[in-house]
Structure 1
Amino acid sequence: MIKPNSRPNQSFSERKPVLTVVIIELLLLLAVVVAGAIATMKQLDYTAPVLISFSPIAIVLTIYLTVRRQWRETGFRSLRNIPTRDAKYYIPLLFVLGIITIKGFGELSLSKVSFFIFFTLLVAFVEETIYRGLIFKTLLRKSAVAAVMTSSILFSITHLLNALSGQSMTDTIMQLIYSLLLGAVLALLMLKNGNIVPLILFHFIHNLIQFLGNDLQDTGTLPYDLFILAVLIAYCAWLVWSHRMNASKPFKGRKQSNPIVR
């Protein structure tokens, strides 16, 4: 079999995977920082930096994936492509959603719900396409470990920018740990089935619940946060164990390649 590195007319991302990832991350950070500066100067709403930066990014991603015909290769596949035996690996995501729903919801209105549906869907599409799509796929050519760890770390680092919007350092550190573990879980699920759609749906619903939920700052959310972190650690361990068990099986009957790099 011809190895990817030996194919002629390789793309830039195939020849320089690490540099490609660095460029993608720097461009994303630059866009968010510039958008944050604009929002601060114009005293816009706290959602403005994301809207200003992510809206054009979403358009660029859509055009790129369409022109290059990369939708399927990036992981946009039917949910029916996920083997029935693998459905159990997504159940803990529902459990996490259930935990964050416990705090209930604040005062809702049609305009508020509609806005945050658009807002959280935008965030989910952009972040998942970049981190569990482009970055993950690019680094997977080097190794699965590099793809999972690097995409998760970069996903976590991006949330440092929340400190610029006035978020406390304690909340920022907790969010960094949370996003690192959650990023690892989503990357491991991407490694298992190569399907980004359930990850986008989870990310979307997760953020929507967070934005529409009650603000428990007065009573404290630490018990909830610590419990979810424990769940995510156990979830990561389960997915890693499952991947290693699958890799240790005899070649006969196993998939010949990772689903995302066909």
Structure 2
Amino acid sequence: MTPQFDYITKRRFHFLELIIYWEGRLTTNHLQTHFAMSRSSASHIIQEYLQFYPNSLSYNASIKGYEATKYFNPCQTELDLNTYLKLAYQSEDAYTYQHFTRLNSPLADIQPAKVKGVLQALNQQKRIDVGYASVSSPDFESRIISPHNLVFDGMRWHVRAYCEKNRDFRDFVLTRFNGAYEFEGNAEYDQSHDTLWQTQLDVVIEPDPRLTPERAHIIALDHQMTKQPNGRYQRTINVRAALLLYLLKQLHLDSYQAKPEAQQIILSPECLEALKPYMAW
């Protein structure tokens, strides 16, 4: 049974595991610097971790730090490189992490005043009358929506909501709200009613078949594909049907390039056929 930790312990264990997972060496200095604590407190956290997960770490005198053993099995989620780098940037040890460069989305900044009402409706499960502009209707018009999730597609923030005008669930770009809002009571629809949100899809990608075997192998490495029994390199990515088009854009599969070197990857033919009902652009 997985232990239940309070917020502070969970946060500290998460950081500890990220350091071990990505750097391969943990010292008390990592914890001292990141959490602005004493050496004894940092040492206590490591020992506390070992009480819950015995033999998962061992002290190596030659590297003057702890390293993972074969019994190390991270208990925290979100151990991806992006999460590691975000936490690394929060460290006061700027010199250590000065060689990390992150390109943020130029479209990600949102004006709080424009979306406060939407966020309140989302958190309180309310219907809200908002002013919204779209490409097809550039003038702000009143929309009554019931938000249920915020979504970042890699470039822009959206809110997934039930739209009473369309009588269906839609994605609304946060920057297109004008900041005018009025609450309209409790929401009657939530994510459990959103069929596309509840539907899980498997997106199967593979190297462009026009590539030479040598180049296809490199593309497979880039995208963490493995060789299947059918002899093709493939990778399966699970996604909500409501977010499929965003994923395809991230993978540059929303258009087809004339040159295979530019295209690099495609949806497997079988996957393409299965996803067609969800790919209305």
More helix by share: 1
Larger relative contact order (C-alpha < 8 A, sep ≥ 6)? 1
More strand by share: 2
- TM-score band, normalised by the shorter chain? under 0.3
Q: Which has the larger radius of gyration?
A: 2
